[in-house]
Amino acid sequence: MAERPMSEHEDIPALDLRHVWHPFTQAGAGAPPPEIVSGEGAWLRTADGRDILDLISSWWVTLHGHAHPAIAGAVAKQAKRLEQVMFAGFTHAPAVRLAARLAALMPEGLTRVFFSDNGSTAVEAALKIAWQYWRNKGETGRKRFLAFSRGYHGDTLGAMSVGASSGFYAPFEELVLPVTFLPFAATWEGDNRAQEKEEEALAEIDAVLDEAGGEVAAVIIEPLVQGAGGMRMCRPEFLRALCERLREAGILLIFDEVMTGFGRTGSMFACDKADVAPDIICLAKGMTGGFLPLAATLCREEIHDAFVGGDFGNAFAHGHSFTANPLGCAAALASLDLFESDSTLERVAVMEGIHRRRMRDLARLPNVRCARVMGSIAAFDLDCGDGGDSKGYGSAWSRRLREAFLSRGLLVRPLGNVVYLMPPYCIGEHDLHRAYDGIFEMVSEL
């Protein structure tokens, strides 16, 4: 008898149930996860032959499409040449080329690139660089970070500390660093209180800075869009005004562009769109087009200068086994090439136009509130009658909503009562319209 392929002997769902621990998942509730066997463009294919339209870019990472041949080819080519080498004491062309290309895309002055593996490590590195920068300069009084309420920066301890108000960290409250949270003036289409809310938020920020500005090492912010906190968007004017104040107070500005980077807001980076230059910027998620875990923390040269000298004590003693992995760097370079050869940002502009038209229709439904669009991101709040606590991220209600989308072949993963779309840039216009038809139908039946 001919040997059958392994996959027909293996019971993947049963083995998953027995051995695998999934992220952000209560294994005791809900249906088991579908097994995905392949992907192409914006589509994922399940083991039982169903096609699912990936409307959230598989947790915000996929840019040009699943299994894109150009990136797959670049990774394969690099793998046959050099798959990995330690990055302390060695260097390699893919990392150097990528560092130079990232620096060229940044606001002027952000020239120094520290590589790591994911969004959380990019944030940890940024916080530690900011902290040590002051100490290397002999200023030891800056013992506090500022962050924004409902911000999210990752799940490791430092990143968690500056995102502690996002609502995911209740069991770890006693573990966090000293952080003061500032208000984020979120707004939406047709919000006529935007300016008023910004003035209130800025007044609160001024009060914090007057009292404790001198004790602060750095502030971290998701520029223009707070992702996991509920796709909350602010106006560029607000971002510019608050950055000006923080700058004046001598505080280092860290932009967490882990989600907003690489075209998500319609510009290559949110800092371009808002026309503000931070001191440190964190990149990850879309950096490799969604192929491999790779991240970067970019700094102004003057920050790096504070670490350079004869003394190892002043060096940044931080690194990860796979720092600047050549495969990740090759994927990132291929992804950047696609931005040019495929006019990717023009595709994002087309997507934004569709989002705006279709969100206007959705906003007419009585249970849709606060519709908002920026670049490839569209979101709205579902008004579910009661205050909303029973509709939070981990609620059965939210899980059932997710399962209902999935049963229509749509990968949409609401953040509590916030429904959002963040499709890969390659999604076909027809597919996106069909997705909106399905969402409209579902929301109007709720």
The stretch near ligand PLP (CB under 6 A) out of 256-264, 271-279, 306-314, 362-370 is 256-264
221 versus 277: smaller Cβ distance to ligand PLP = 221
213 versus 227: smaller Cβ distance to ligand PLP = 227
**Which residue among 41, 119, 286, 414 contacts ligand PLP (CB under 6 A)?**
119
Residue among 358, 401, 412 at smallest CA distance from 53: 412
Residues in 212-231 that interact with ligand PLP by CB under 6 A: 222, 227-228
In the sheet with 295-300, reading across from the earlier edge strand, the strands are 110-116, 295-300, 280-283, 252-256, 216-221, 144-148, 179-182
155 versus 342: smaller Cβ distance to ligand PLP = 155
Residue among 319, 379, 312 at smallest CA distance from 352: 379
Token pair belonging to 247: 């700058």
Q: Least Å distance between CB 152 and ligand PLP?
A: 6
293 versus 438: smaller Cβ distance to ligand PLP = 293
For 59-121, give the secondary structure using H, E and C.
HHCCCCCECCHHHHHHHHHHHCCCCCCCCCCCCCHHHHHHHHHHHHHCCCCEEEEEEECCHHH
For residues 347 and 355, give the distance between their C-alpha atoms in angstroms, rounded to a whole number.
12
Q: Where are the beta strands (DSSP E) in 257-305?
A: 280-283, 295-300
162 versus 185: smaller Cβ distance to ligand PLP = 162
Report if residue 118 touches ligand PLP, rule: CB under 6 A. Answer: yes
Give the count of residues interacting with ligand PLP (CB under 6 A). Answer: 14
**Which residue among 120, 136, 325, 376 contacts ligand PLP (CB under 6 A)?**
120
For residues 420 and 279, give the distance between their C-alpha atoms in angstroms, rounded to a whole number.
30
Q: Least Å distance between CB 90 and ligand PLP?
A: 25
**Which residue among 146, 217, 243, 259 contacts ligand PLP (CB under 6 A)?**
259
Q: CB atoms < 10 A from the CB of 172, how many?
A: 13
Give the containing element (helix H, strand E) for 371.
strand 368-374
Give the containing element (helix H, strand E) for 36.
strand 36-40
Q: Least Å distance between CB 256 and ligand PLP?
A: 5
Binding mask 91-110 for ligand PLP (x = CB under 6 A): --------------------
Residues in 121-160 that interact with ligand PLP by CB under 6 A: 123, 152-154
119 versus 278: smaller Cβ distance to ligand PLP = 119
Q: Least Å distance between CB 22 and ligand PLP?
A: 14
The stretch near ligand PLP (CB under 6 A) out of 1-9, 139-147, 196-204, 252-260 is 252-260
Token pair belonging to 376: 């490839």
227 versus 278: smaller Cβ distance to ligand PLP = 227
Report if residue 292 touches ligand PLP, rule: CB under 6 A. Answer: no
Give backbone dihedrals phi and psi of 232, rounded to 5 degrees, phi first.
-90, 130
Contact 322, 307 (CB under 8 A): no
**Which residue among 258, 298, 421, 426 contacts ligand PLP (CB under 6 A)?**
258
Q: Least Å distance between CB 270 and ligand PLP?
A: 10
368 versus 374: smaller Cβ distance to ligand PLP = 374
Q: Residues near 11 by Cβ (< 8 Å), separated by ≥ 6?
A: none
Report if residue 116 touches ligand PLP, rule: CB under 6 A. Answer: no
Q: Where are the beta strands (DSSP E) in 129-269?
A: 144-148, 179-182, 216-221, 225-226, 232-233, 252-256
Q: Please, where are the H alpha helices in 220-282? A: 236-248, 270-274
Contact positions toward ligand PLP, by CB under 6 A? 118-120, 123, 152-154, 222, 227-228, 256, 258-259, 284
